[in-house]
Structure 1
Amino acid sequence: MVVSALNVSQRNKQSLNSNAYEAWVNRFGTPAEAAQKLMYDPVKRVGKVIDYMGEISNKKIANLLGSNGNKAVALALLGANVTVVDFSEENEKYAKELAEAAGVPLQYVVSNVLQLPEEMRCGQFDIVYLEHGIVHYFLDLHALFQVAQELLRPGGKLVLQDFHPVTTKLISSRGTTANIRKHKVTGDYFDTTIEEKEIAFTKYLDQGEKRTLTVKLRKWTLGEIVTAIANTGFQIKSLVELPNQSSEDYDRGIPKTFIITAHRLS
């Protein structure tokens, strides 16, 4: 069966627009409450990836699939001029209220990333930033990184942080003993199946609000991701693989995330 990228995108859009605002309130508190935490320590919310962005003060950053705006607002608090692109109107609502409560400007474009208007794709951004659980929404990585290339000025930087394919495609983890999780190889690293999964934010919904919300995902290998970036007008500068950042001993020895930085060539 041939699965259309557009059909998958529309299915994902419908799910991501259902109950998202309520889920973020349950997860982070109201936008006003969440803003107080962000203002106290915006660097903590951005996380390790901030070390790979370089100077961000007064830089124009496009945060693709920026969801509820937590990372975008944190970057704005650190002096960046941030534009979020996401196709969820409920995410937009939370993000705009969050930015207002934090006292920072935030541009939010409700759009499919692959269907951005031409006037945006004119090399106006210094950094294109994608973070955590993004690339698996796309059936064509070349199309995604082509948009990133068109958004960036020559020499601009792509910064991608996502979950490591070893943990999303190959290994299942459960239980802990002395703060070390037990791992088992249960997957096929090279599987190209398009999977249907329950959308992640449903775990933050109250029981009475829950309903079946699914998205279609294509999990990519690290080699596929690196190759797609390198073949789309970028020079890769670094690939960093990271362990779990939440605890020194947790998931010891297993790569949990990765960060790629690359520069637009011309």
Structure 2
Amino acid sequence: MGLHRETNRANWDDRAAAHAAEGGLGYGIDRFVADRRLLSDVVEFDRERLGDITGLRTVHLQCHIGTDTLSLARLGARVTGLDFSSVAIEKARVLVERTGDDVDFVESDVYAAADVLGTGTFDLVYTGIGALCWLPSIDRWAATVSALLRPGGRLFIREGHPVLWSMNETIDDDLHLRFPYFEQQEPLEWDSDTTYVATDRPIVATKTYEWNHGMGEIVTALLDHGLRITGLVEHRTVPWEALPGQMVAVEGGEFRLDALDGVAPLTYTLQAEKE
């Protein structure tokens, strides 16, 4: 477990530095400095489902360099971002210093979040795209979410669909399910010097480990830890070109399948409330 976590951390340290680049590459952070009302595409996509979050004490788990985090603050939440990458936290702090957004950032492993931030103190736990696949146990994640939330507090997550994570993106003549849909003890091992946005250099720390979690496993874990599912919407789009050669760009920074549009869910938004 330690090897997997530390290998992934090295990769995300490297990605964070590349993603925070200026001049239009990476996450395009210059846009958030230039336009103090701009929201990230990921947060904008779910803005109606988020509703009014003004004044809510919010923690954004696995916040990366903070573009979604500051977007939640711009919607009125009182936000703390948490990530295990020291480089990501450093870049996030620099970003909000430049933008003037009132956001705190904490470096911590997600499973230790309740120990670091306290239990039962948050109105909203938010998690964005591409987070759960880095965690070996969905049950431990659900326990962490439950510990962080006050009674009546809400979980909000948009994530890549486990069906999408099961597809082999390198085969572009059709949709090919080749990887485990259900959580496995041993992770899938990957080695790539690219990332999901344009960067000015290849990634150096190339190896990563990932775990899939089936939709039933996610829902059951949340129910087991005292949360009630209040919403689950599956989407036909994803905010990066997840299946190259088979997708077309649509508005809002999203991509959908081209000829096979609607054949498979690509992302989902799930909401749950702590009882």
TM-score bin (small chain): 0.7 to 0.9
What is the TM-score of this pair, normalised by structure 2? 0.82
The answer on 1:71 being equivalent to 2:68 is yes
| Matching residue of 1:197 | 190
The answer on 1:257 being equivalent to 2:267 is yes
Give unmatched runs, 5+ long, in structure 1.
176-181
Question: Structure 2 CA distance, aligned partners of 1:118 and 1:229?
Answer: 19
| Deviation by residue 1:73-132 (Cα, 9 ceiling, x = unmatched) | 111112111101101111112211221222111110101111236362321111001111
Query: Structure 2: which amino acid aligns with 1:12?
Result: N
What SS does the corresponding residue of 2:273 show, helix, strand or coil? strand
Within-5 A mapping of 1:39-58? 39-42=36-39, 44-58=41-55
Question: Structure 2 CA distance, aligned partners of 1:239 and 1:92?
Answer: 30
| Matching residue of 1:226 | 219
Between structures 1 and 2, the one with greater helix share = 1
Question: Structure 2 CA distance, aligned partners of 1:221 and 1:262?
Answer: 17
| Matching residue of 1:153 | 150
Query: Structure 2: which amino acid aligns with 1:250?
Result: R
| Deviation by residue 1:156-193 (Cα, 9 ceiling, x = unmatched) | 00111110111110364766xxxxxx532241454635
| Matching residue of 2:230 | 237
The answer on 1:28 being equivalent to 2:21 is no
The answer on 1:106 being equivalent to 2:68 is no
Query: Structure 2: which amino acid aligns with 1:183?
Result: D
What is the TM-score of this pair, normalised by structure 1? 0.84
Overall identity of the aligned pairs, in %: 23
8 Å Cα contact 2:14/2:204 also seen in 1: no
RMSD (CA atoms): 2.5
| Matching residue of 2:244 | none
The answer on 1:17 being equivalent to 2:13 is yes
| Matching residue of 1:134 | 131
8 Å Cα contact 1:136/1:217 also seen in 2: yes
8 Å Cα contact 2:27/2:197 also seen in 1: no
Match of 1:166 among 163, 166, 178: 163
Question: Structure 1 CA distance, aligned partners of 2:62 and 2:41?
Answer: 20
Question: Structure 1 CA distance, aligned partners of 2:265 and 2:127?
Answer: 19
User: 1:117–1:22: structure 2 CA closer, same or farther, 3 Å change rule?
Assistant: same
Question: Structure 1 CA distance, aligned partners of 2:140 and 2:15?
Answer: 29
8 Å Cα contact 2:37/2:74 also seen in 1: no
Question: Structure 2 CA distance, aligned partners of 1:62 and 1:95?
Answer: 14
Query: Structure 1: which amino acid aligns with 2:137?
Result: D
- Between the two proteins, the alignment pairs up a number of residues equal to 252
8 Å Cα contact 1:73/1:98 also seen in 2: no
User: 1:198–1:53: structure 2 CA closer, same or farther, 3 Å change rule?
Assistant: farther
